[in-house]
Structures are given as structure tokens and as C-alpha cells.
Amino acid sequence: MKLEEIIKDIKPLDETAMKAARARQDTLTKPRGSLGRLEELSIQLAGMKADPFPSVERKAVIVMAADHGVAHEGVSAYPSDVTAQMVLNFVRGGAAINVLAHQARARVTVVDIGVEADFEPMPGLVRRKVLCGTRNMVQGPALTREEAQQALQVGADVLQEEAAHGLDLVATGDMGIGNTTPSSAITAIMTGLPVARVVGRGTGIDDEGLERKIKVIEQSLAVNQPDPGEALDVLHKVGGLEIAGLAGVMIAAASRRIPIVVDGFISTASAMIAVGLAPGVREYLISSHQSVEIGHQAMLKHLGLKPLLDLNLRLGEGTGSALAFHLIEASTRILREMATFEEAGVSDKES
């Protein structure tokens, strides 16, 4: 299904299911509201899934991988070769996301949407390369509009393929050396904040590298003049094939009433693009954690999201989302499995 049609399928949260979930929460054997955000989360999930007893047993992390032309400007502490090397690590099960996803009983799907290397066919790797990395956004648009649209469609297609295997909850993960640079650019453009206010150290660059990164982004914005009111214009001018792919995943997930657990800085940049293209996606987003990247707070404020965790994470891969899976599943199990006052024979608070 084409992205334009998928966007039309996005529905608001189901108020009837939310009302029923809220009513049940108020009858469970606890003081009303005493489980705080877990109660709020279960009600939100009921609305997302249009089910007063939502289940999130079938979980997946979709990790999109791509390279970035702007990495050649020295904006990362690691060489671009690491993107391809880490893709192989994901497929072999040796990365942090593999460990955390396994603990959460979630599958990991790795997608080559734009890595600057060719992979042989192998189990666990979905090869959907749009091109071998973006162009250098300092010199002009990182992607053409058509390439950006193609990458969005790849993400939507991958989500629909995952859903065919059974999917109740999806998390977004990324891999791409240099990708905090386009993510910072997206943040500056769409929030209107100065570049220096939203740029962090990414993989751990020093003070000189940070100053260079700020100047690279400022120059890119001056060269490309992206329109903050048009998400596709922003996406194609400053790029990120994995950013585009994850935005497509989010749009397709929302159209299927599948809650989306947004990881850190890069995934939240994707969420900004997804919501820019399809505002209805916003209601299906759950922010997993507060990233160390300084621009992340501005992103979350822009989207109106409150993260579940704050663990000083800055890895990506979907690691924060995999950790949040435990809280999200806990919220649904409380709603479904906890006894009501009547069922337990426990006296409720006197009215």
C-alpha cells in the first residue's frame, strides 16, 4: 500500500476503549491512581489498540541502518566503516540491542536501507537499500525528494511485513555513523532553536569536533534553506535514510493501531518527520527514554512526549525502547490480570 493511502488509514485513539480501561483501573485493588504512569499508559494503550484489555506480547525492534555523506566532514568520533560492521554484529546477535531485546522477548529486524557497503544475503538482514548513503548535506540536498519518499515507503513496507508475522508493539532503532548530525539539523529546523542549542557530542567528539559539527549544520541549513513547515522538504534536504525509514515504520504502525516505542535522539527525529507528514501518528508514540543528547528535550517538548526512563543513554539501536518494553507490558498486565475489589473480596474506599 502506498504511503499516501496508509496515512489516510490513521484513526484517532478509541475513546470507548479508553473509558472502559479507565473504569477498570478505578476498580482494581489499589488506591485510585496509585500506580501513576503505569495506569495512564495502560489507558493510552487501550485507546491505541481499540481494546479495553490490550496485550503487547508480540514485540519487535526494527533497526534501520544507513550511512551519511556528512560524516566525511569529521562530525563523528568513529569512521563510517563502523556502520556496516555493526550491522553484521546485529545480525550475529552480539550488540546491546540483541541482548536487551532477547530479555524482553522481542525479535530484532535489521534493515539495510542505505549502508555504504554491499551485504550478501543472510538470515536476519532485510536488504532494502535505497542508495549507498546520503550525499553530503553541506554541498546540497542529502537526498532527492524521490529518494526520501522511497525510503519512507521502505519503512512502511517493512512494518507491514512485520505485522504479517504478528505484532502488538514496535520499537524503532537506528545505526548510522554521523546520524546525530542530520537529527540535530532536523531538530533545529522544526523547533526553530539555534543550532548550538540542539547539537550534542554524539559518539563522543571533543570540543573541537563539537564546534565543527555546529558549523557544518549551520552551513548545511544556509545552503539548503529547508522549509520547517514541510516535513518532506526537511527530510530530503538534510537527509537520513534510516531516519526516513523509521518515519515510514511509524506511519504504517499508527495506521494499524500498533503502538510505537520511540528510542532516543535519532528515532525522535524520525518521529518529528512522521508527525510532520501525518499528524495522527503523534497519538501512537511512546517515548522510551530521555537521551543525553542536549537536543532531545527540545524534540520531546515539540512532540508533547514525556519519556518513561532517564538512564543517561546515548547508544541508539533501540536499546532504550527495549528497556521500556518491560514497563509497557507491565502496565497492560496490571490492567488485565489484577483483581478488582469485588473479585478479591476487598473493601473499597468509602465514598
> Active-site residue numbers?
317
Residues 332/56, Cβ–Cβ less than 8 Å: yes
Chain-centroid distance, C-alpha 225: 26
Following CA atoms 123, 261, 303, 234 in sequence, which dihedral angle do they give, to the nearest 10 degrees? 0
Chain-centroid distance, C-alpha 299: 12
Residues 6+ apart with CB under 8 A from 253: 159, 163, 170, 259, 260, 284
| φ and ψ at residue 66, rounded to 5 degrees | -165, 160
The H or E element that residue 223 is part of is helix 207-224
Residues 225/249, Cβ–Cβ less than 8 Å: no
Q: What burial letters (b/e) apply to 298-323, b meaning 16+ CB within 10 Å?
A: bbbebbebebbbeeebbbbbbbbbbb
What is the gyration radius of the CA atoms in the chain, in angstroms? 20
Residue 135: CB atoms within 10 A of its CB come to 17
- For residue 28, the 8-state DSSP code is B
